[in-house]
Structure 1
Amino acid sequence: MNDSETPTRLRVLLVDDDTVDRMAIVRALGKLDPGIEVRQVASSDAALEELRGGPFDCVISDLHMPGRDGAWLLAAIKREGLDVPFVVLTGQGDEQTAVALMKAGAADYAVKAAISPSGIGNILRHAVRVHRAEREARIVQERLTLALEATALGIWDWYPRADDLRCDARCKALFGLPPDAPLSYAEGRAAIHPEDMLGWQAALTAALDPAGGGRYESEFRIIGIADRQERWVRASGQVFFKDGAPVRVVGTLLDVTARRREEMLARRRLEFEQQLIGIVSHDLRNPIAAMVTGAAILRQALPADSPLKRTAARVASSGERATRLIRDLLDFTQARTGSGIPIARREADIHLVCKHAVDEVAFNNPGREIVHRAEGEGRGAWDPDRISQVVDNLTRNAVSYSPPGSVVTVRSRDDGARVLVEVHNQGTPIPEDVLPTLFEPFKRGERKQDPDRSIGLGLFIVREIVSAHGGEVTVRSTAAEGTTFSLDLPRD
């Protein structure tokens, strides 16, 4: 019994009260394949005990036996849920009864008078193969059912030519219907939210076009037919074509209401935060500018030996920090609203831009050595004010996070079609767990030497400005080399 789909090592339970008939069948199975193991019993009760005790690949049972016959044994096997194919042995003229037993669950039947090794082999092979195929199909179906239940997917099947829509219970539930309620294509279409109808129709029309590959994907709202509840669903499907026309669409329906609501709440929170930051920072800009201007006028008007001169200087310094904070808040608002930080490109020299930024930081930090080194050609097209803002931010950070007395170096150099700007400082390296989120908003260093604390927007804005120029900013930080922020900017 050499078959690629049916292993030769089979356990067969033979049930027959006639010893001679049993011997004939055992002899036929042995000629078919000596590896077949045959367990012989003479009654249905004994057969049932054997089946309860261990697995068999097939039962071959006589139909006519004293007491409980083969029909009783088949019914008992089905009643107890024993998973084994059942072959009926009949006498001549019992074919009609055998067919009735097949309708009741028997796999096949064989007439005793016509038994041969090849004949019984074909019946046994067919019974085992069909049973195993059915068992595998049941396992796949059970796994598919579990998977669908785990993902809460509803199944739908639509035949466009007949306008016939078939849905399972979960799919109907998404339309607000009980499992036994009918759902037509027209009713399903009418349940789609009017605001989402155009998008749904466009996606379906594209999928029904053979040139589009037949893949259907769409998200839309459904107004429950019976419960009138609004649900967001994601529909996915595959179109099958015949002669270039769509004949069937099979797909799934997934409830994505919770995700959509979370996204909506998150979007509303973000919009509120952005509006609040924009309003507050914009309304603060004018009074702080007046404060800085007033402090500058006061410093000029006061005598050189006046003790108020230092107070005026402190007011002016605080006002400048507040001005930078407001600028960062406004830039953050623009970056997060999707419009991005605006830049105005014009011809500029990167070396001069870096020098001016370094000079300003050095002026405000007289006790620190800040060095600028320029190499090669520095001309290009950038927004010099924004690039100066980037260099100013990185240089101030380098001063704040490095030990007093150490040197901060800013280097701008030619790199062909691009220019590179590096800001380096010594000191404790940035922790490795901080590096992945260093350029995210509201992230601040923990070992800043400067007592003036930022709100953690500076590096985020640096990244946004550099990205707006088509460039990239990276950082390298080790105990041996110190910390270096590198800007890679295209000239155009």
Structure 2
Amino acid sequence: MSKRSCGYFSLSTEGKIVKINNTLLNWLGYTEAELIDEKFAKLLSKGGQMHYEMFFLPVVSMSKAAKEFSYELIHKDGSLMAVLLNASAILDKENKVIAINAVATDTTERKNYEKELLRSKRIAEQEKKRLEFMADLVPEIIWSATAKGNIDYVNARFCQYFNCNGSDTRASFILSKVHRDDLKSLLQIWYKCLSTGDHLQKEIRLINRDGMYEWHLLKAALFLDEDGNMTNWFGSCANINEHLKALKKKDEFISIASHELKTPITSLKAVLQLLDRMKNDPSHKMLPSLIEKANRNIDKVNSLVEDLLNASQLNQGSLHLNKSLLNLAELIGDCVHHIRIEQRYEIITEGDKSLQVFADEGRIEQVVTNFITNAIKYAPESNQIIIRLKTAGSDIIVEVSDKGTGISAEKIPHLFDRYYQVENNGSKYSGLGLGLFICAEIIKRHGGEIGAKSILGEGSTFWFSLPG
């Protein structure tokens, strides 16, 4: 059976079949005798019968013709066949309809194609919605553009970051969010990519909804179809501001660590060179002072290395606590005894000297020692350092106070941050900025709290609490 053939039939004014060709008979599986004098409507579905009676016949009667009416014919076995009907009226001398000639064109393949096309369209729309849903969950800005570079889609993150709606994808709006120092170079590389099809990758600053500029990594790639035609650009814009700040801090830390380690090592090298010259004269008067200076420098290097090791253990989660019941006053007494200080400093312990805690003795001693050495370093003019032991509910609190120049209020919240160093009168104290950070982590792992308070011109108090 040829799908290109057409079925022909003729109808009487009553709608009965008076002629029908073999093509249509073969399509439907009937013999001519079975259909002649039968109503054509019996070959239509119920919906088709209504349409045939209400529209097809009246149109033919009035217009003397009907073009491209779509119906489904019923095969003898009950299956359906899609056809397109075209009809023309046969008129008598008085211009009245006496018969209808009709042509049925098999549109089964066309209908199947249309159904498949509609199905594919629905699938594509569902896939698009699914991808947009996924894109909206991504913390990065996701976007797409036409082959010519016109933005045609942005995800929810774009709207959140710039406080706008998804339809605002005008080039002027987007470019207004780029830092002016980055705009020219961005446009140059973007236009180059549009002409060459190369991937785009550039770090730029974008202004957020709060008016602050943040660094982003902008990426885009051109999608080519199977024929190699340019279709769309797909891109992302990841916020790398914190990453760059971390890298900057890391570089600064490496520089500080190198400087801090180099200073005592250089001094130690000079001392050793002098000692080498005196090795044959053990009674030289400078020998004791040089040995003491060498030991001080070794202590500095050892302290810096300890801070680095402690910070590394904290990062890896391998800082273990060996807890035991200990007396805080006795622990503080040992700290004071081991800290080398000038005679003019007086360290006084006040409060309940019978207080005991269940803690790691070495780590708590490390915290107390850091507080005392900080008081000496940052408040050299303070002759007295007061250590207080007290309770607050079930917690035990240790305070270390000095009477130095104090620390400004805006610096207090950052004192326990990693790598943070206090500046005083425009100068930065030496150190890696890890001491108080390590102290804070030690206390947190004990289930306690840590903090500081200060009044400019009156002094500072560093404190920590431990569960009683």
Q: TM-score range by the shorter chain?
A: 0.3 to 0.5
Q: Whose strand proportion is higher, 1 or 2? A: 2
